[in-house]
Amino acid sequence: GNSVTQMEGPVTLSEEAFLTINCTYTATGYPSLFWYVQYPGEGLQLLLKATKADDKGSNKGFEATYRKETTSFHLEKGSVQVSDSAVYFCALSDRPRGGSEKLVFGKGTKLTVNP
């Protein structure tokens, strides 16, 4: 089946630093790609998504571009804030043979931003 690999954390940055969290995927067909964020003590929230190759998803200063040639969907932000401290999950849509469509999540990357 399809799968997602994202960089292991934790990642610790200073405020205003540049952020990259790598995500690569293995898929047959053309899945949709997602980044979800989980703040401490809360459920996951959709951060951004892209549904086809070369699409760029963006939200709250975060961006990710669907790169079919490198099977990647790296998350970036030019200047992080303390409030961005959270766990970030890369995910893709998967439809196994004979099965129904579902989201497959990576293991998550914990980001801590220090003042």
For binding to another protein (CB under 8 A), which residues are involved?
A: 32, 41-46, 49, 51, 89, 93, 99-103, 105-108
As a whole number of angstroms, the distance between CA 1 and CA 87 comes to 24
Q: How many CA atoms lie within 13 A of 96 on its CB side?
A: 6
As a whole number of angstroms, the distance between CA 23 and CA 92 comes to 10
For another protein, give the closer residue by CB, 3 or 83: 3
Contact 17, 62 (CB under 8 A): no
For another protein, give the closer residue by CB, 51 or 83: 51
Shortest spacing between CB 69 and another protein, in angstroms:
22
Shortest spacing between CB 111 and another protein, in angstroms:
16
